[in-house]
Amino acid sequence: MEMAVGGYFDAMGPIQAALVKKFGLGEDGYLIDVGCGSGRLAKPLSKIHTGRYFGFDLVPELVAHAKKISARPDWKFGVIDHIAIPEEDRAADVVCFFSVLTHLLHEQSYWYLEEAQRILKPGGRIVFSFLELDQPPHWPIFEATLKDAKNGGDQPLNVL
């Protein structure tokens, strides 16, 4: 299940956890993990973060796995089917989008970023990853997406 979405599950999770900590997630802070997938971030973060966490994704099986491997009954997980972050205004300290915006149209990415801004506390941070095409390791990902599109796939090619 860890390999269902994204690669380098065990290597990238701790890096993502370190990034959200470095960029503003305090010990008791509230993190919202948009596109939590199978728990790549939730698993390592569960061992070092005492604050609140809310992770959600489109795929119920992935969300169930993330909840299981985080082993944190106090954390919240959810399944969504639309572009929205189901949280009150000014509630979160950090909102992260790891390997999410790459898979969305520009309009959808913008909408999600508006949602993130709405739910962030004053001084809160948005942390996200994306493909940088001047970086050689990102080209194989882009080429695979392009090949998929040429073969009738429906993955957006837009990258912010």
Q: How confident is the model at residue 153 (pLDDT cuts 50, 70, 90)?
A: low
Structural domain range at position 88: 9-129
Which among 73, 81, 78, 70 is positioned nearest to 39, based on CA atoms?
Answer: 70
CATH number at residue 121: 3.40.50.150
The total of structural domains in the chain comes to 1
136 belongs to a structural domain: no
Cα–Cα distance measured from residue 118 to residue 92, given in angstroms and rounded to the nearest whole number: 9
Q: What is the pLDDT of residue 160?
A: 32
Task: Give the angle subtended at the CA of 44 by the CAs of 20 and 86, to the nearest 5°.
Answer: 60
Structure confidence by residue, pLDDT tens digits, 66-106: 999 999 999 999 999 999 999 999 999 999 999 898 888 88
